Amino acid sequence: MTELARQSKAASRSLAKLTTAEKNACLLAMAEALERGGEAIKEANAKDMAAGTQSGLSTAMLDRLKLDDKRIAGMAKGLREVAALPDPVGRILDTRIRPNGLKLQKISTPIGVVVIIYESRPNVTADAASLCFKSGNATILRGGKEAIHSNQAIARVMLTAAKKQFPNFPEHAIQVVQTTEREAIKELLALTQHVDLCMPRGGEGLIRAVAESSKVPVIKHYKGVCHVYVDGEADLKMAEEIVLNAKVQRPGVCNAMETLLVDKAIAPIFLPEIAQKLTEKRVELRVDEASQNILKIPDLKPATEEDWYAEYLDLILAVRVVDGVKQAIDHINHYGSAHSDSIVTRDEKRAKQFLAETDSATVYWNASTRFTDGGEFGMGAEIGISTDKIGARGPMGLEELTTYKWIGIGSGQVRT
Amino acid sequence: MTELARQSKAASRSLAKLTTAEKNACLLAMAEALERGGEAIKEANAKDMAAGTQSGLSTAMLDRLKLDDKRIAGMAKGLREVAALPDPVGRILDTRIRPNGLKLQKISTPIGVVVIIYESRPNVTADAASLCFKSGNATILRGGKEAIHSNQAIARVMLTAAKKQFPNFPEHAIQVVQTTEREAIKELLALTQHVDLCMPRGGEGLIRAVAESSKVPVIKHYKGVCHVYVDGEADLKMAEEIVLNAKVQRPGVCNAMETLLVDKAIAPIFLPEIAQKLTEKRVELRVDEASQNILKIPDLKPATEEDWYAEYLDLILAVRVVDGVKQAIDHINHYGSAHSDSIVTRDEKRAKQFLAETDSATVYWNASTRFTDGGEFGMGAEIGISTDKIGARGPMGLEELTTYKWIGIGSGQVRT
């Protein structure tokens, strides 16, 4: 592991020297190679699929694992899109000339070596590696053990293409961890002198395990317990559309709503209406006492303390009546996961209070929580979403895969 | 510890609501109270001094611990300076209107709860607390156990003044940890749900111990192994001034030079000259073989592998002859601490290579490394310097004590 990390660090120094044009040429060559090398990738994938079938993976897991021509073309398309995005490295973030004439510039730079830990989908290999590569970072990839042959094949095809393009291309720029032992990852994430960042992608359990054991910084996305608060001054038609969209349009994703908070001022009107619409969409409601007092639907499941913390990722919704915007904010800051939360209101003062005091990565006024996404934010691509506060927060695209350095240009200045 | 951290988190929610004018009024009231309350602070300090004398603290330690009217006035002056600085919270870092009309803004916000761990100087209590307060963060302060009474007295005076100014001022905004047990800190830094960041200030041992055990993000400043590389194309008069300044002007600080790298092209001319000047300033040289072959000074200490890693903080300098800018960069990236490094040259191409490829927080061209400092960077005040890459890098002022959130303002947008 030490040798692997050391090689990645060395590769990251070489990567940092590539020009934008060189990086883009590599990405386009990699995309073409993925399409042309589809057979080798499918062969490796067949090994994983056979082993997965034998070990009794579920149909859903096997489906996620499978690579066909369409999925390979999808990876290639992703690489071409990354090539088309602006280079996040070398942006001038700040310039200041000091009274002594020293010119200071804050410049975006690659982070260095980024470890990506993920689960079964092998296409993450191409996505993550291409985003890290475009931002000048060396990547160490550790996917699910069930996808090991597929992941290695994808990385090999990408690297071979890059080396063909540039014979000096650092061959350790994209590395797939060979071993699937847990101890190896722990060892890797203790190498603070070589590894700069770890981004685990997957379920809360995986992320907690990585964060617990890592000595290198970890950017975390624990879960998306997202809220919509329908205020007493809401346009109820708009509120209905936003609530339905946030819950139903794609319930299995992190930016879907999990808890609906309704101001007691409009609960008697709004709750029965929205409950009916949600039930029509097969959403199971788990409601607090005040909601049930209004709804009076027989056999409605009461919400427990655990429901307020729950990330259902399913057609289930916790519902609570609150006493105005302050109680809504308090509920979200206490039970939420600091991901995405929305207020629906016509009242600017309440909206501003909600936007200011809700301590989440992304807060909305009169919009669905479903917009928290690199693509929707105009980042072009997304490597993940951060619910952390140090480093990137919210959707992470190419810029969020960079750090910065200060450059001081003088003419002999010394300190007096 | 859990209760203390929970109280800090609650206080941070209230702090985030204070206006700039309110924060500044509090800071000015605190400054005045420190001056007026000098007697109480000096009394508490006398207890610490007596205990320190009894337990056999060194004269240097006792000097650092001592508070007199001048030092108290210094703290008050610091608070007034922080009041005069612009509010780092609420800056609009990015604005984008999406094709669907959704307006997205990236806004700077407080981080939340910041733990500051430091050593003997009690004035850090006022400095750190005021910077965290101005940036809207609640602070948990854990100074050296020998300064516990002084630290508590300072925090008490500041809080009392703020509460007098605003009766609703959150009394847990600035807390001093009462216990001096090491286990308590470990416990505190495991409370990721309440504590957002830890900034240890002190020696490498302290920082490593904190970083090893913390579950919350830690911004680290391990050490300052700073380099000046004198290139073959350097203006030798300028190089001499920069080298002397970087080593001699204040050798005990982190941005002082510890290793001098000299291009072999000019080593035969430059080395004897600079060695004489440095020796006149009582600097002890530890040189590699190539340097000694040029210098031929009897009894000159040879540099060992440890010398290249050493942060002397003293009038000692490691000296190495290198084969051009590439070897200089490789040396710095291998042995340095990613703090501050400088190239002296007239050659723009080499300078740009050095600035781009040296992987340090701050890199200079034709200037002393001694400029890495919040004040010199125009930040107004400094809470520390980061040698990390995630979160702040380099000098940290008020802006570096903030994070950001995304605000989305819509008119009913839903995702399709």
Helices (H) and strands (E) in chain A, counts: 15, 16
Asked if the structure places residue A349 within a domain, the reply is yes
- The burial of A372, by beta-carbon neighbours within 10 Å (0-12 exposed, 13-18 middle, 19 or more buried), is given as buried
Best of B98, B104, B189 to mutate (most A CBs within 10 Å, chain A): B104
The verdict on B39 and B126 lying in the same domain is: yes
Kindly list the distances between the CA atom of residue A195 and the CA atoms of A3, A39, A113, A118, in Å, as whole numbers in the listed order. 12, 33, 5, 17
pLDDT band at A160 (very low <50, low <70, confident <90, very high): very high
Contacts of B104 in chain A (CB under 8 A): 377-378
The verdict on B311 and B281 lying in the same domain is: yes
Whether B102 and A371 lie within 8 Å, measured CB to CB: yes
The verdict on A207 and A68 lying in the same domain is: yes
The verdict on B176 and B243 lying in the same domain is: no
Four-CA torsion A272, A277, A280, A284, nearest 10 degrees: -70
Report the chain B residue with the minimal C-alpha distance to residue A238.
B412
pLDDT on residue A203: 86
The verdict on A319 and A202 lying in the same domain is: no
Asked if the structure places residue B130 within a domain, the reply is yes
Chain A window 325-354: which residues touch B at a Cβ cutoff of 8 Å? 333
pLDDT on residue B204: 87
Report the chain B residue with the minimal C-alpha distance to residue A403.
B389
What are the φ and ψ backbone dihedral angles of B363, each rounded to 5 degrees?
A: -125, 140
pLDDT on residue B381: 82
- Provide the token pair at B52: 């320190």
Which structural domain range is residue B93 located in?
2-181+391-409
Supply the CATH number for residue B248's domain.
3.40.309.10
pLDDT band at A21 (very low <50, low <70, confident <90, very high): very high
pLDDT band at A204 (very low <50, low <70, confident <90, very high): confident
Percent of chain A with pLDDT strictly greater than 90: 90
Of the partner residues B394, B404, B409, the one whose CB lies closest to the CB of residue A365 = B409
Neighbours of B205 (CB within 10 A): 8
Asked if the structure places residue B267 within a domain, the reply is yes
Position A369 pLDDT exceeds 80: yes
Residue A318: name the closest of A257, A251, A276, A268 by CA. Answer: A257
Number of domains in chain A: 2
Q: Are B385 and B402 in contact (CB under 8 A)?
A: no
- Provide the token pair at A234: 């809401």
Of the partner residues B333, B393, B413, the one whose CB lies closest to the CB of residue A13 = B333
* Torsion A28-A33-A36-A42 (CA) sign: negative
Asked if the structure places residue B339 within a domain, the reply is yes
Chain A window 202-221: which residues touch B at a Cβ cutoff of 8 Å? 211-212, 215, 217, 219
Q: Are B116 and B201 in contact (CB under 8 A)?
A: yes
Contacts of B413 in chain A (CB under 8 A): 366-368, 371
The verdict on A114 and A181 lying in the same domain is: yes
Of the partner residues B211, B215, B413, the one whose CB lies closest to the CB of residue A368 = B413
Supply the CATH number for residue B53's domain.
3.40.605.10
pLDDT on residue B202: 86
Strands B301-302 and B284-287: parallel
Report the chain B residue with the minimal C-alpha distance to residue A337.
B193
The 3-class secondary structure across B140-175, one letter per residue, is EEECCHHHHHHHHHHHHHHHHHHHHHCCCCCCCCEE
DSSP 8-state symbol, A354 = H
Whether B408 and A360 lie within 8 Å, measured CB to CB: no
Cβ neighbours of residue B299 closer than 8 Å, sequence gap 6 or more? none
Neighbours of A249 (CB within 10 A): 16
ipTM: 0.94
Asked if the structure places residue A380 within a domain, the reply is no
Coil, strand or helix: which one is B28?
helix
Asked if the structure places residue A139 within a domain, the reply is yes
Asked if the structure places residue B201 within a domain, the reply is no
Neighbours of B232 (CB within 10 A): 17
The verdict on A268 and A397 lying in the same domain is: no
The verdict on B233 and B345 lying in the same domain is: yes
pLDDT band at A119 (very low <50, low <70, confident <90, very high): confident
Strands B384-386 and A402-413: unpaired
> Read out DSSP for B264-307?
TTTHHHHHHHHHHHHHHTTPEEEE-HHHHHHH--TTPEEPPHHH
Coil, strand or helix: which one is A54?
helix
pLDDT band at A182 (very low <50, low <70, confident <90, very high): confident
Cβ neighbours of residue A109 closer than 8 Å, sequence gap 6 or more? A16, A89, A90, A136, A402, A403, A404, A405, B359
Asked if the structure places residue B19 within a domain, the reply is yes
Left, alpha or beta for B393 (phi > 0: left; psi -120 to 50: alpha)?
Answer: beta
The verdict on B31 and B146 lying in the same domain is: yes
pLDDT on residue B399: 96
Per-residue pLDDT of chain B (416 residues; tens, 9 = 90+): 899 999 999 999 999 899 999 999 999 999 999 999 899 999 999 999 999 999 999 998 999 999 999 999 999 999 999 999 999 999 999 999 999 999 999 999 999 999 999 987 899 999 999 999 999 999 999 998 899 999 999 999 999 999 999 888 999 999 999 887 778 899 999 999 999 999 999 888 889 999 988 999 999 998 999 999 999 999 999 999 999 999 999 999 999 999 999 999 999 999 999 999 999 999 999 999 999 999 999 989 999 999 999 999 999 999 999 999 999 999 999 999 999 999 999 999 999 999 999 999 999 999 999 999 999 999 988 899 999 999 999 999 999 999 999 999 999 999 99
The verdict on B33 and B152 lying in the same domain is: yes
Four-CA torsion A106, A112, A116, A122, nearest 10 degrees: 100
Report the chain A residue with the minimal C-alpha distance to residue B344.
A412
Contacts of A112 in chain B (CB under 8 A): 359, 389
The verdict on B140 and B42 lying in the same domain is: yes
Distance to chain B for A32, nearest Cα, Å? 31
Best of A108, A405, A409, A411 to mutate (most B CBs within 10 Å, chain B): A405
Whether B245 and A370 lie within 8 Å, measured CB to CB: no
pLDDT on residue A81: 94
pLDDT on residue B181: 79
Best of B107, B390, B402, B411 to mutate (most A CBs within 10 Å, chain A): B390
The CA distance from A66 to A122, in Å, is 8
Check CB contact of B363 with chain A, cutoff 8 Å.
yes
Beta bridge partners of residue A113, listed in sequence order: A138
Coil, strand or helix: which one is A106?
strand
Q: Are A249 and B415 in contact (CB under 8 A)?
A: yes
The verdict on A148 and A29 lying in the same domain is: yes
